[in-house]
Structure 1
């Protein structure tokens, strides 16, 4: 009699076709691979960033180099003084005319003239005579004479005019007319200097990676009195601390105090915002950027080699009420994130900073494993055990019309090829990530290393 026994799971499995076995193995391998990727927290899959390789972007999307800029000759910011001082309104002269200033009776002995010593810091020599100021119209008033126009004259020319006037009016004989004319105090100009480079700064400028916020962008203001022929930009800067520091832009702005220039600046701002408001009504319109104000003089302090600024005396000469403005570089920063320590960092002012330098400035060693606290690694201690450094750096760069371009930098190529190291510009956001294969390799090395240590310890205990 034929006996039937039930078919077991082992019989069904052994009798399955070979194709079904291969299909099951493939499914199992795929499941293990997906679980392995998810276990590593692969940021290239969970948080993908689609970037364009740096070599494929046009040059206008890259920052302009600064390494080849050279400082201008600072003597171009100073007026060339004349060989002889020329008088104008506001000058105070020391004048002595024997018998007239002061008046002496014919039978009295002449009085000696007073002597004046200059103030501290003045370069004038001691002067002799009674102080008489040059009027606003440039004239000089003396006893028994009509006002004498002395604007633009030297001291020697004024002395000769006074002598000739007293002789022509028959007040003094020719052999007695020996006036003394000296300069007691030169005219001065009140200049306002506003500087934003002398204010204390917060953290975040170096490798600390802290967001800066302790600086309120306040500025130091100074009212300086500059003597004649020193009323220029260079003397105004020297009187308030020198050339702009590292926290200020490498340029000087001059705002004229005349009413005409003030009206020009007000009209310029009104026209710009009227145009911007009209453009905002069109959803497809690009909001315009604020152009250069034609009424404001901007003088760059670093220029390409061979370029000499064409500055005239009228441009560098400062009048009463003019404002010299040194602007802060608070907005010239870049940001870091991902495996880089999150922070805001100030860009160098006078030299270029590429992606490798920016990583070092943020506190990330080149070719070292990413920090586990950087936000995006998801590896914990496995990355440090594996030792494979992250190889993908993304630069988020703003473009016109509120657009954005993402630049992908292969760090392995960047180390070997300088052309693969784009320069960092203000507003860039740097995000460092592992590639998926790098995370898998770090996870695998870390897992097997940990497993080997455990087996070694177990064998020693046994």
Structure 2
């Protein structure tokens, strides 16, 4: 196993907490100046404690995040048609109204009086029963209207009917994003000890046109793909046909069953995902096929798109290293040498001055003039457990591939 052990979260639902501790050795290299920590050498670490690499993941094909547009527009409830029927709609001899498309619309100019498609998929026109147009193209809708007036009711003798589309139906969705601008706090020595996104987030209410009501258009309308402050996934919370009471009962029964156990050694399983919440990955391992289909990324009325912050994906430094909290990279791996460099700790060289660790760190660094040579990683595990991993910094510097 490489000495440049990757830092990261144990793959669980728990928060990511990593602690780096620099341990200084005396000049002989045999006597620890602080209490020894019982740790597993990095080259003997069991596989179940390793973290999955991030650097080799590739972005998902963005075309998977949008729906396929049909060759011809299909009508449904909420569409507004432009209908002109000579001597039936409007005054005889007057031209029908002319409508320019709304800004940003792909529709051509329309002609006719505005007639909405009702919830039952029909249009209400004078002198004829409601005409069903759901699922029809404009050409087909014109034909069924012509049939209603000229064949079924025998009202018109000449075919002077125009049907156009004034406005597409809209699908209202909510987008909540927590990938805002990072905020940083500086320690006294100028070191960044905290950098995270603003968890207040930003909210958007979108009215997406039909056939543009998909995840890609929702993200594009609200700032684009999630930034590095957000997770490499997007959640879609369905807003229709959801029985929240059933989910509440399930959660209550789950916690009563698994979290009321008196055995302190019992490790309860994580809460299962809500079936009404879809996770859409944005980066995958090479060769991995995303388990999503077109219906997963199509948004319906009331759906919520949630871009979640990576606020908990951090590691901590302490001991002889300057104390602080540091964000883990999202799209590449971080080894121990880079982590120490991020904390502005000295590796393989004698510390100058009072040292950056402060307190006991500064005093220990100066004893014997020996730089720290051992690093301890405390990796969080499920059920409030942790494993200590020891890394020899000299070996990590001299032979990173060992």
Give the structure 2 partner of residue 428 of structure 1.
Answer: none
Does residue 1:50 correspond to 2:38, yes or no? yes
Structure with greater strand share of residues: 2
Name the TM-score, length of structure 2 as normaliser. Answer: 0.86
Structure 2 SS opposite 1:353:
coil
Deviation sequence 1:66-92 (CA, Å, 0-9, x none): 111101001101000100000000000
From 266, 274, 286, the equivalent of 2:248 is 266
1:70-81 to 2 correspondence within 5 Å? 70-81=58-69
Q: Is the Cα contact below 8 Å between 2:355 and 2:362 reproduced in 1?
A: yes
Secondary structure in structure 2 of the residue aligned to 1:414: helix
Q: Deviations over 1:219-249 (max 9, x none)?
A: 1111011000111111111111111111000
In the alignment, the residues of structure 1 paired with residue 149 and residue 186 of structure 2 have an alpha-carbon distance, to the nearest angstrom, of 73
| 1:258-302: CA deviation from partner (whole Å, max 9, x where unpaired) | 2435345434432332234323x2222124333433331001111
d(CA) in 2 for partners of 1:191 and 1:54? 48
What is the CA RMSD across the aligned residues, in angstroms? 2.6
Match for residue 143 of structure 2 among 135, 147, 160? 160
Q: Is the 8 A contact 1:199 1:217 kept in 2?
A: no
- Specify the alignment match of 1:151 in structure 2: 134
| Highest RCO, 1 vs 2 (Cα 8 Å, sep ≥ 6) | 2
Moved more, 65-74 or 308-317: 308-317
Displacement after TM superposition at 1:365 (Å): 4.4
Indicate the residue corresponding to 1:348 in structure 2: 329
What is the distance in 1 between the residues matched to 2:269 and 2:193? 29
Whose helix fraction is larger, Structure 1's or Structure 2's? Answer: 1
Q: Structure 1: give runs of 5+ residues left out of the alignment.
A: 1-36, 105-109, 421-462
Q: How does 1:53-452 map to 2 (within 5 A)?
A: 53-104=41-92, 110-168=93-151, 169-173=153-157, 176-203=158-185, 208-212=190-194, 217-279=199-261, 281-370=262-351, 372-374=355-357, 375-376=360-361, 378-379=363-364, 381=366, 386=369, 388-419=370-401
Quick one: distance in 2 between partners of 1:222 and 1:406? 44
Higher-Rg structure is 1
Cα distance in 2 for partners of 1:43, 1:264 equals 61
Q: Distance in 2 between matches of 1:134 and 1:265?
A: 35
Counterpart of 2:13 in structure 1 is none
Q: What TM-score, normalized to structure 1?
A: 0.75
Measured in 1, the distance between the counterparts of 2:186 and 2:269 equals 31
Q: Which runs of 5+ in 2 are unaligned?
A: 1-24
User: Counterparts of 1:66 and 1:44 in 2: how far apart (Å)?
Assistant: 35
